[in-house]
Chains A and B, each alone.
Chain A
């Protein structure tokens, strides 16, 4: 079992729709969860993080965490073509380091 599982995609959504990106993790000792966006050929940039069960909103982005189900998600409202990128989920695991998933590729069509 992989430490972090993400659907590789691509996830295709029309402009203005909600994009839902999902991530499951295996280490129950994970304390916090980070979402990074990576444009093709570029380095990852931090979008947001969450450490408590429930929802956390930041602008068009909402992170959702369910530790009992070992599940974290990222919702992007009013998706824009500029949101087209690969989104990496990264739990801070019991080994006290971030472990990165392979990412979900999101395509937003105009």
Chain B
């Protein structure tokens, strides 16, 4: 079955440590997105990528980095510069970027906690 796989489901980070969240899709979608969701809040866009080897900052990119070396993969690194990383991280994809008829498909999410 086609879909988006995020791993791990739960992740614990120590202070000052970088961690990488995995996102893989087999939907042959062009565009991929990373969102952060805090309790009781909406989804905030961190980074997005419309094609391979290209990505743009979203609304809250500081302290995060991404890469898009393959169409299927869009990993997110939470760096030590992100001072409040505890949140629910969601990866999403859409068939084509800039297509108003393409909704986003979400992965199951990674819950990151700072210990």
Contact = CB atoms under 8 A, between A and B. Distances in A.
Interface in B27-85: 33, 35, 40-43, 45, 48
Contacts of B48: 97
B105 A100 contact: no
A25 to B, nearest CB: 13
Contact of B42 (A49, A97, A100): A100
B100 A103 contact: no
A98 B106 contact: no
A98 B105 CA distance: 12
Q: How large is the interface on B (under 10, 10 to 19, 20 to 34, 35 or more residues)?
A: 20 to 34
A11 to B, nearest CB: 15
A101 B98 CA distance: 19
27 contacts: A4-B42, A8-B40, A31-B100, A32-B101, A34-B103, A34-B104, A43-B106, A43-B107, A43-B108, A43-B109, A44-B43, A44-B90, A46-B105, A51-B100, A51-B101, A88-B42, A88-B43, A90-B104, A92-B100, A96-B97, A96-B100, A97-B33, A98-B103, A100-B35, A100-B42, A101-B42, A102-B40
